[in-house]
Amino acid sequence: MSNEKDWETFKQKFFTKSGIDLNDYKPAQMQRRITNLMNRHGVHTYMDFFGLIDKEAKLYKDFVDYLTINVTEFFRTPEKFVELETKCLPELLSKNPKLNIWSAGCSIGAEPYSLAMILNELTPQIRHRILATDLDVEMLAKAQKGIYTANELKNIAPARLNRYFKTIDSTYCINDDIKSRVEFRRHNLLLDKFEGGFDLILCRNVVIYFTEEAKDALYRRFFTALKPGGVLFVGGTEAILNFREIGFQHYMPFFYRKPW
């Protein structure tokens, strides 16, 4: 079985190929996930596995998908989206009628499109900026197509489903107006520069396998990227325990505000 030197070499070569630094991921969980794939493909060392993913494009894509955990749905954790719609967004809009929003780790686009629907109803005459980024180009391509399964739409109220989607065979296609309200872009949260001046940043169910050091650095960069009074919205298992040390104020559970 693989040794520590084999693991270090694998991480270096994989970073060169993908731009994904496995040092930012919790080693125990990451090694377990990779070992499962190695066993499935009958290889016994990390470098043997790298040889496979380096030669086989589909296996490489599957491996990146496996790492980046592209599991999402519209209005994920619906009660949190109720808080977003009824409290957070109205308060932000009271300070700034045109918002600058970033959905970080947007996967198939469910989150930014959910936001676009809410904002279309709250402020029908205003087109806000919604930036949606992800590391995975395959997921971004799916997001830009805007075609979804019924399971991905299970949290959408029937009125919104009828208003914003048309049925194509057994799939649902989001309408062009909502699609045009979201700007998609490839972005590596751990390596690439951040824009600034955001009123709201959503980063939900993205950092589950990051090390504590990587998460801390990421949340500090989000803090800098927010306007004074801006809000960071994180996933339901991702409470920021040191939010005060970073500079955030507690706003609501899983919502953190940069002070005015």
> How do 147-148 and 171-174 pair as beta strands?
antiparallel
Phi, psi (deg, nearest 5) at residue 47: -70, -30
**Angstrom distance (rounded) from CA 7 to CA 45:** 8
**Chain mean pLDDT for the chain:** 91
Beta carbons of 122 and 92 less than 8 angstroms apart? no
Strand partners, 133: 104, 185
User: For 75-104, what is the mean pLDDT?
Assistant: 96
DSSP the chain: ---HHHHHHHHHHHHHHHS--GGGB-HHHHHHHHHHHHHHTT--SHHHHHHHHHH-HHHHHHHHHHHHT----TTSSHHHHHHIIIIIHHHHHHH-SS-EEEEES-TTTHHHHHHHHHHHHH-TT---EEEEEES-HHHHHHHHHTEE-TGGGTTS-HHHHHHHEEEETTEEEE-HHHHHTEEEEE--TTTSPPP--EEEEEE-SS-TTB-HHHHHHHHHHHHHHEEEEEEEEE-TT---TTHHHHT-EEEETTEEE---
pLDDT-derived band at 189 (thresholds 50, 70, 90) equals: very high
pLDDT tens-digit profile of 43-83? 889 999 999 999 988 888 878 777 766 567 899 888 999 99
At residue 132, the pLDDT reads 98
Domains of the chain (ranges; CATH) run 4-68 (no CATH), 78-257 (3.40.50.150)
What is the pTM for the complete model shown? 0.83
pLDDT at 68: 65
Distance of CA 16 to the CA centre of its chain: 23
Per-residue pLDDT at 35: 87
Reported as a single tens digit per residue, the pLDDT across 109-126 is: 999 999 999 999 999 999
Residue 143 and residue 151 in contact, taking contact as beta carbons nearer than 8 Å: no
- pLDDT tens digits along 238-260: 889 999 999 999 999 999 999 99
65 vs 141: CA distance, rounded Å = 14
* Tens of pLDDT, residues 5-49: 889 999 999 989 888 888 888 888 788 888 888 888 898 899 999
